[in-house]
Each structure stands twice: as C-alpha cells, then as structure tokens.
Amino acid sequence: MIPLFSKNILWTIVLTTIVSSLLCMGLFYFILIYKIEKQLALHENSIVEVAKHKISWESELDDLFPSSMPTAFTEAAEKGRLSVVYIKCQYKNQTESSVRSQNNGSGVLISEDGYIVTNNHVVEGAGKITITLSDKRVFEGIFIGSDENSDLALLKIEANQLPYLIMSNSDSLAIGEWVLAIGNPFNLQSTVTAGIVSAKTRNINMMEKNGVESFIQTDAAVNPGSSGGALVNTNGHLVGINTAIVSEKGQYEGFSFAIPVNVVKKIVQDLKEYGVVQRGWLGVEFEDLDDATAKELNLEPIRGALISSVSKDGAAYLAGIKPKDVVLEVNGKPVTNTAYFMEIISLYRPGEKLDVKIWRKNQVISMTTTLKNHLNTYDPVAIYKTGIFENLGIEVRNLDALERALFGNTGIFVVSIKKESILYNTKMEPGFIVKSMDGLVVKDVQHLQSLFEQKKAGKTTWEGIYKNFPGSYPYIFQVIKD
C-alpha cells in the first residue's frame, strides 16, 4: 500500500511532465508554422510575379482569371441578350416610292416560332420592318397587330427553334429588386444595363385619355433605340417591355419605365387571336384619393380608386356602382391607386366578370359586374386592318346591333385612320359609316373587300354618314393596283 503523501508527489510529477510536453510541442509548432509561412510568402511572391507577367502578356492563364465569377446577372443577361432583336423600320410617302425615313428600336422574342413583342411607337406606320437576331441573321418582320392605348405591337418572323424569354409575373416584382434592361441604344446592339425597381404602378401621363399607364420604374439606363427591349429579373425571365424615359435632353437621366409583362401577356394574346385588343370597359371615370377626401369618407389607410362619374347602362352602372364609391379590390387584388386599377381592368375582356369590393358609407360592399366593350355590348369586337384596309390606312369593323337598329343593316364603321394615309388626305374622320362604294350598297366588311377585288384602278367614291351629324358625306380617292 502506497502512503498518501507518496501519491501526491506522483501526481505532481505526472502533471508537470504533461504540461512541459504541451509547452514544448506548442513552441515547436509555432516555430515550424512561422518558418513554413515565411517560405510560402517568398514562394507566393515569385508565383504572383510570374502570374502578373503571364496575365499581362500571354493568354495562357485567361481562363483562370475571368472578370467576375458566374452570377445570376450573367446568366440572366445571356438569356436576355439572345432573345432581344434589333428592329429597323422604313417609311414611305403615300405618293412616293422613295424611302422617306427610318426608325430603329428593339423587340423581344416570346416564342420559339418567331413572335416578337415591341412598342407600337417603334413600328407604327412602317412600310418595311427588318428584324436582326443576336446571331446576325436577318428576317422580314410581319406585322400582326398593335395597340396604341398600351403602346405595344406584335410582330412575327418565319423561323423556328429560336431563343425566347419566359414571361414572369410582374405583380411579384418587389421595389428594390434587381433587374436588367436589354436593348439596342444608339444602334449598339445587345446592350445590357442593370438597376433596381424604383417604383411600381407609375403614371407619367405619356398616353392619351384611354391609355393604360401602370409602368415599372427602374434606374437601369435606357436610351433611344432601347424602346421595345426587355426588362428581365435575375432569373432571366421577362418582367416588362422598356418603353419610355423622363428626360429634358432625350437621353437617359436616371429613370426609365417599362410596361408590366402581365399587361403584355393579355395584349399579345388578343392580337394573336383577334388582331385587335379586346378591352373590357367598366364605364366609369375615376381619380386618386387624396387625404381630405379619404377623411371625408372615413377611409383609412388611404387607398383605392375614387369613382367620379358612372356612364348610364355601362357595366359599373348595372352592377350598382355609384359616384363617390371607392374601389378597394378587384378579383382579389387590392387597388393601391388609379394606375394599378387601370392595369387590373386592362387584363380582362368584354363579357368577363369582376368581383369588386367598394367603400361606401363606412362599410365594404361586395358586388359583381360584367365588363362591356366600347360599343356597350358584351361581345368581342373584330377589327379589320389588313389587305386593302392597310393600303388605305384605316381600321374598320361591322356595325353592332345598336348601330344596325339606328342606321340600317348595311354599312361598315371606320374605327381609325392613319396620319398621311390615302383616306386621311380626304379629310375623312374616324366614326364614319360607309354606306356605299361607287353607288353600290356596302353590306359588311367582307362585301366591301369583294367590291375592291372587282374594282379597277382609278377614282373611287365612298359615301356614308356620321352618328352625330346630319346628312350624307362623299369621299373621293384614287385606287392604285399593281
């Protein structure tokens, strides 16, 4: 048996030995690491010097030193760059064969079979449209349709297996989110700029009274030639079509504006199916709600669209909507302001139902309304503007039921007339109802087309009426045939 004091001495010796060993090992490790690091530093300096020489003067190490590592930006930029096209438009005078001027812009491939969306102001009135892809292939652009109220146009090229952008959901965009603008500014093709979403549902008073303005505002640089180009998120998905800038000099000064892709989807679908946008009409005038009016109506927080007037027998009137009602929600979407209210309504066609929540007399009221068209009926409106009508510079449609009841079962309605076109120069106005051609009764659009097919070149007389003016009006113009 070992005495107690002997055990204590033994434990002291063991602990002292262990501590001494650890201190020696630590000191050895420190000295070793110091020497290794010193040698590595000297060796690294020589490697860096060699690398500097090779980077500066040789291409051997290029792949090891990219400008930046791959990021979502580079992937998104590549997707967008391949899908954005260069658009060149040429214009001719109606009476001259020589080219009068040209306009350049951008467009976005949205399908592998060649559908392209761009701005209406890029291609409006163009006699010839040329499309150049990112791989330098050149195609003739086919005009499918356009919509002045949204400043969008749809083109097509005869090609397949093309790169294209997937359309995202612009409602999901967040303020502060990174986006890329891709276009062809100043003829610099496939230019990519970056910025953030600065604001949404922005109205800049760019369009006419019936125009849809609910722009995405960004600080990505957009310049002349970028119109019609792509605004993409970091996934490389299309979120908007670059359309406008606010500038005193005509060049980028910090803000750019894009049409939300949710609006683009609806317009493109309508143009492909009908050749014209089927816009639902609620039949109201509205305005933003200010603080004083919100307090008067006991509405907090301030939101929604204030109804200022309601058209009799319109969709809103029939649903029971009244002046001074505040629209708070449409089909589950909260109405933040009038710009977003216009955007929501623009997504629906005549005949489609809307579930609406309004604020009236300190309570929320739910109601359902069915949208009408601008003719105050529920049917889609077919507008014809190709062939002979394109040559004449007009858009026409058949008479609706009310017009047939008022003006007879024959005739066609002139919807629009392009500036400087053949019929524009006759002083004809939109709203003219063509009742006869060269003394022959015009039954409908198809009948007028057949009359033109039988017509020889020379003087032609259209005679007809206007809804709000008495009497008959003749218009004389020359028909030119190849």
Query: Quick check: is 450 catalytic?
Result: no
CA atoms within 13 A on the CB side of 87: 37
- Alpha-carbon torsion angle 386, 465, 473, 480, nearest 10: 10
Helices 338-346 and 261-274 pack at an angle, to 10 degrees, of 30
> Which has the higher per-residue pLDDT, 60 or 55?
60
- The answer to whether 229 and 223 have CB atoms below 8 angstroms apart is no
**What residue has token string 């946008």?**
277
| DSSP helix/strand/coil, 284 | strand
pLDDT of 135 higher than 50: yes
* Beta-bridge partners for 330: 333, 356
Give the domain ranges of the chain.
4-64, 68-258, 284-370, 388-479
CA neighbor of 272 nearest in space, from 145, 147, 399: 145
Class of domain 388-479: mainly beta
Measured in whole angstroms, the distance separating CA 122 from the mean position of its chain's CA atoms is: 13
Query: Quick check: is 227 catalytic?
Result: yes
371-409 pLDDT, tens digit per residue, is 998 778 888 777 777 678 888 888 888 887 778 888 999
**Catalytic-labelled residue, pool 151, 270, 325, 436:** 151
- The answer to whether 237 and 202 have CB atoms below 8 angstroms apart is no
**Catalytic-labelled residue, pool 121, 168, 214, 346:** 121
Structure tokens at 325: 């009602």
Q: Write out the E strands in 78-127.
A: 84-92, 99-109, 115-118
> CATH number of the domain at 68-258, out of 3.50.50.60, 3.40.50.300, 3.30.420.40, 2.40.10.120?
2.40.10.120
- Classify 275 in phi/psi space as left (phi over 0), alpha (psi -120 to 50) or beta: left
Average pLDDT of the residues in 459-472: 91
Average pLDDT of the residues in 43-70: 51
- Encode burial over 359-382: b for 16+ CB neighbours within 10 A, e otherwise: beeeeeeeeebebbbebbeeeebe
CATH topology of domain 284-370: Pdz3 Domain (2.30.42)
Amino acid at 362: N
CB atoms within 10 A of CB 247: 15
Give the least confident one: 62-66, 104-108, 181-185, 326-330. 62-66
pLDDT of 225 higher than 60: yes
What does pTM read for this prediction?
0.69
Query: Quick check: is 447 catalytic?
Result: no
Confidence (pLDDT) at 472: 93
pLDDT cut 70: percent of the chain above it? 81
Q: Do the domains spanning 284-370 and 388-479 agree at the CATH topology level?
A: yes
CB atoms within 10 A of CB 300: 8
**Catalytic-labelled residue, pool 150, 198, 214, 227:** 227
